[in-house]
């Protein structure tokens, strides 16, 4: 699908030079639906883009269109949910238009807020060098609040639960009570204690000048709401606001968008209510449903022509989603030639499923597909454990979009904690983490040391470092002194993150890792990568905030690798959103697994969301789709649990799929 002007954008245009695009360029590159959307006049626009209908393409051409009309890049804001989506969009737009990077404002909601808050933090009473807490940091902090209030009996909810309650309340701007009621119903919980702990959490974040992911959004909106002059500034700046995956916005994000676009009202939102799969983190697809009411003059364009999948796959997708209530009606219209029907394979158990997948992958390869054309998708990471072992045994190369993100791994966080301490004296979480690396220091001792240091630790202050050394036991103090020397040199090296981490690893962490982890080699390899990565940043502070927000970085890096190295791709359905493969295999299409029984028990609306998730999974496939249904689950204790076919399969009309029963003898 190379277009003439994309090549022109790459080769003919010098830096910053604009490529003039004419109406015929757009007509040639877009179908009539896409054309109508991309060249829509000013004002609010809602694009309902069903799966595989060229949504990104349309947005990219919208940006090109604006540019060709002389809109300066600095006046365009492009919001997406993932870093990957942002990169893809900006890259494609750049290659089309020929403008060099750095023009448009583009990125995730969290990035956008961070960028704005760094500039205006003072208005909200934060210093501009606030730290960002990732999920693990937040958990640690909540756990510490619980411990402090001596609530550690079994009845009290775990930190994760407390956080998700808090987040649910914050993201949908509701009272904690409502969130509690949703979660626990009439189960007896101590509301007061929960409230107190969460208040402690809030005040400790403030004291440490830290924001968690939710704070970035909440404070971003608060800044605009409470400071008219700041809101004015950005409303003027962003003459055009484009939002991708609008169906996944939560109320805070929707407010942010409304405010930013409030002046010029050139707001284009793109989404597909069928693909709304993030309600558990506050996303509300009613945002997209009610867009035409909130913007009565909105132009609505539907993209329904599907370029991705063969008709047989689209029939299954259309049938699967038809039963969901309250959605915009859209039907995927195929453009591709007819192919064979999707396959439903019944096998005895998980082991047979793993075998079957390997076999199927080999067959597909012998039919001419490359390994990188194939993906295995599943509802939850643990569904793929057995398959991972089988792939390793059979030497099939695969990359996994893992559940544990690169920057959340213990060893990476350990090394980064040194930088965090150096950059912000009030970062208690990082200081505690650093202390606990030393022998004989656990939670209690670390807390005591921090108290003695006055709740702060200025790593650039030799006296403060000396004090900590004296509070450690002898063997730990020896090691501390070496680290102390490295901290002392930090300023002199020009605050060089890479070399500081390098020294830290050499003087201390390498030994520590070997003694702590059985796979120290691999972890140290990660750290070397981290050190190399750090060199790309102009300052340590930039590195740290990027790291907190780019938890997905490895997935992106791996994405490139997988394509280059030709490996099979394993991924959750959530992480596969926005991607496509020639062949898709979906695991564990059984009741309890997909739909997940856990999520069904959470809320009434869960079944509809699981069905949308299944829809997302199916619509990733271009030509081949295979659904696996193991008949039993073997439990750890040796027990056997019979599995029923997923309701998403049994409710399909007759005749849409082929069936097969491999592995039965």
Backbone angles phi, psi at 272, to 5 degrees: -145, 110
409 binding DNA? (CB under 7 A): yes
Structure tokens, 85: 């989506």
Residue 120 Cβ vs DNA, minimum distance, rounded to whole Å: 20
Interface residues for DNA in 187-216 (CB under 7 A)?
A: 213
Residue 150 Cβ vs DNA, minimum distance, rounded to whole Å: 12
Residue 83 vs 99, nearer CB to DNA: 83
552 binding DNA? (CB under 7 A): yes
Backbone angles phi, psi at 78, to 5 degrees: -120, 115
**One symbol per residue from 52 to 91: x for binding DNA (CB under 7 A), - otherwise; what is it?**
-----------------------------xxx--------
- The yes-or-no answer on residue 590 being catalytic is no
Determine the Cα angle at 556 with ends 551 and 562, to 5°: 140
How far from chain centre, in Å, is Cα 6?
A: 29
Please state the three-class secondary structure of 458-489 as a single string.
CCCCHHHHHHHHHHCCHHHHHHHHHHHHHHHC
- The yes-or-no answer on residue 42 being catalytic is no
Which of helix, strand or coil describes residue 651? coil
Residue 299 vs 381, nearer CB to DNA: 381
Peptide bond preceding 309 in cis form (omega within 30 of 0): no
- The yes-or-no answer on residue 448 being catalytic is no
Structure tokens, 609: 């969301």
| Binding segment (CB under 7 A) for DNA, from list 2-10, 221-229, 350-358, 402-410 | 402-410
* Choice among 215, 244, 427, 479 that is catalytic: 244
Cβ neighbors of 458 (< 8 A, separation 6 or more) are 425, 464
For residue 133, CA distances in Å to 212, 213, 429 come to 5, 7, 9
Determine the Cα angle at 316 with ends 290 and 281, to 5°: 40
* Choice among 25, 33, 34, 55 that is catalytic: 55
445 binding DNA? (CB under 7 A): yes
Structure tokens, 109: 């909601």
640 binding DNA? (CB under 7 A): no
Residue from 483, 549, 562, 621 in contact with DNA (CB under 7 A): 549
Residue from 403, 454, 466, 653 in contact with DNA (CB under 7 A): 403
Q: Contact 58/67 with Cβ under 8 angstroms?
A: no
Q: Contact 356/387 with Cβ under 8 angstroms?
A: no
Round to whole Å and give the CA distance between 272 and 243.
Answer: 12
404 binding DNA? (CB under 7 A): yes
- The yes-or-no answer on residue 56 being catalytic is yes
Residue 605 Cβ vs DNA, minimum distance, rounded to whole Å: 12
150 binding DNA? (CB under 7 A): no
598 binding DNA? (CB under 7 A): yes
Round to whole Å and give the CA distance between 287 and 495.
Answer: 45
How far from chain centre, in Å, is Cα 44?
A: 27
Residue 389 Cβ vs DNA, minimum distance, rounded to whole Å: 12
Q: Contact 40/299 with Cβ under 8 angstroms?
A: yes
380 binding DNA? (CB under 7 A): yes
- The yes-or-no answer on residue 489 being catalytic is no
Residue from 51, 194, 446, 621 in contact with DNA (CB under 7 A): 446
Residue 550 Cβ vs DNA, minimum distance, rounded to whole Å: 8
* Choice among 3, 36, 56, 563 that is catalytic: 56
Round to whole Å and give the CA distance between 351 and 634.
Answer: 9
Residue 635 Cβ vs DNA, minimum distance, rounded to whole Å: 8
389 binding DNA? (CB under 7 A): no
382 binding DNA? (CB under 7 A): yes
Q: Contact 487/465 with Cβ under 8 angstroms?
A: yes
Structure tokens, 506: 């050499």
- The yes-or-no answer on residue 55 being catalytic is yes
Interface residues for DNA in 559-578 (CB under 7 A)?
A: 572, 574-575
Residue 385 vs 514, nearer CB to DNA: 385
* Choice among 99, 275, 428, 631 that is catalytic: 275
499 binding DNA? (CB under 7 A): no
Pinpoint the alpha helices (H) of 98-158.
109-120, 135-148
| Distance from the first to the final alpha carbon of the chain | 46
- Give the binding-site size for DNA (rule: CB under 7 A): 48
Residue 255 Cβ vs DNA, minimum distance, rounded to whole Å: 16
Residue 572 Cβ vs DNA, minimum distance, rounded to whole Å: 4
Residues that bind DNA (CB under 7 A): 81-83, 108-111, 135, 154, 158-159, 213, 277-278, 280-281, 379-382, 385, 401, 403-405, 409-410, 436, 439-446, 519, 549, 551-552, 572, 574-575, 596, 598-599, 602, 636
Which active-site residues does the annotation give?
55-56, 244-245, 275, 620
């Amino acid at each position: 699908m190379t277009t003439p002007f994309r090549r022109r954008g790459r080769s003919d245009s010098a830096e910053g030079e604009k490529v003039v695009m004419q109406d015929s360029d757009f007509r040639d590159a877009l179908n009539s639906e896409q054309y109508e959307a991309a060249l829509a006049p000013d004002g609010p626009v809602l694009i309902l883009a069903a799966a595989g209908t060229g949504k990104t393409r349309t947005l990219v051409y919208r940006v090109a269109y604006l540019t060709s009309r002389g809109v300066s890049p600095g006046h365009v804001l492009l919001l997406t949910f993932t870093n990957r989506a942002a990169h893809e969009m900006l890259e494609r737009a750049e290659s089309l238009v020929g403008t060099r990077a750095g023009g448009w404002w583009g990125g995730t909601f969290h990035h956008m807020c961070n960028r704005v808050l760094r500039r205006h933090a003072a208005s909200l009473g934060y210093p501009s060098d606030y730290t960002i807490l990732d999920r693990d940091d937040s958990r640690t902090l909540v756990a510490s609040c619980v411990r402090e209030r001596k609530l550690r009996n079994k009845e009290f909810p775990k930190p994760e639960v407390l956080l998700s309650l808090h987040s649910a309340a914050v993201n949908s701007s509701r009272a904690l009570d409502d969130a509690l009621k949703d979660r626990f119903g009439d189960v007896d919980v101590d509301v007061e204690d929960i409230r107190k702990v969460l208040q402690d959490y809030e005040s400790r974040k403030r004291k440490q000048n830290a924001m968690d992911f939710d704070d970035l959004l909440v404070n971003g909106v608060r800044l605009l709401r409470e400071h008219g002059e700041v809101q004015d500034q950005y409303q003027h700046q962003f003459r055009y606001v484009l939002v991708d995956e609008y169906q996944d916005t939560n109320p805070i994000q929707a407010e942010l968008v409304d405010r930013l676009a409030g002046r010029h009202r050139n707001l284009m939102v793109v989404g597909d209510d069928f693909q709304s799969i993030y309600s558990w983190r506050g996303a509300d697809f009613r945002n997209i449903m009610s867009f035409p009411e909130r913007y009565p003059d909105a132009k609505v364009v539907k993209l329904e022509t599907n370029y991705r999948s063969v008709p047989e796959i689209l029939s299954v997708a259309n049938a699967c989603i038809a039963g969901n209530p309250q959605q915009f009606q859209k039907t995927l219209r195929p453009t591709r030639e007819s192919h064979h029907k999707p396959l439903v394979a019944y096998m005895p158990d998980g082991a047979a499923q793993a075998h079957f997948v390997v076999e199927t992958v080999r067959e597909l390869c012998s039919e001419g597909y490359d390994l990188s054309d194939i993906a295995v998708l599943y509802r939850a990471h643990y569904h793929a454990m057995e398959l991972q072992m089988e792939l390793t045994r059979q030497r099939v190369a695969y990359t996994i979009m893992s559940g544990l993100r690169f920057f959340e791994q213990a060893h990476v966080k350990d090394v980064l904690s040194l930088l965090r301490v150096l950059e912000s004296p009030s970062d208690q979480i990082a200081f505690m983490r650093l202390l606990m690396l030393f022998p004989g220091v656990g939670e209690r001792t670390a807390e005591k040391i921090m108290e003695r240091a006055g709740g702060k630790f200025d790593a650039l202050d030799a006296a403060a470092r000396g004090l900590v050394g004296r509070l450690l036991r002898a063997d730990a103090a020896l090691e501390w002194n070496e680290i102390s020397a490295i901290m002392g040199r930090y300023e002199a090296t020009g605050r060089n993150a890479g070399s500081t981490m390098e020294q830290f690893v050499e003087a201390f962490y390498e030994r520590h890792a070997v003694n702590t982890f059985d796979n120290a080699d691999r972890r140290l390899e990660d750290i070397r990568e981290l050190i190399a990565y750090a060199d790309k940043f102009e300052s340590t502070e930039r590195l740290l905030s990027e790291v907190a927000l780019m938890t997905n970085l490895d997935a992106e890096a791996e994405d490139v690798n997988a394509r280059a190295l030709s490996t099979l791709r394993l991924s959750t359905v959530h992480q596969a959103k926005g991607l496509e493969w020639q062949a898709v295999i979906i695991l564990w299409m059984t009741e309890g697994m997909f739909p997940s029984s856990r999520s069904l028990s959470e809320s009434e609306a869960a079944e509809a969301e699981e069905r949308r998730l299944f829809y997302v999974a199916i619509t990733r496939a271009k030509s081949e789709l295979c659904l696996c249904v193991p008949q039993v689950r073997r439990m750890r204790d040796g027990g056997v649990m019979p599995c029923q076919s997923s309701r998403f399969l049994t409710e399909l009309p007759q005749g849409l799929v082929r069936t097969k029963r491999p592995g039965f003898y």
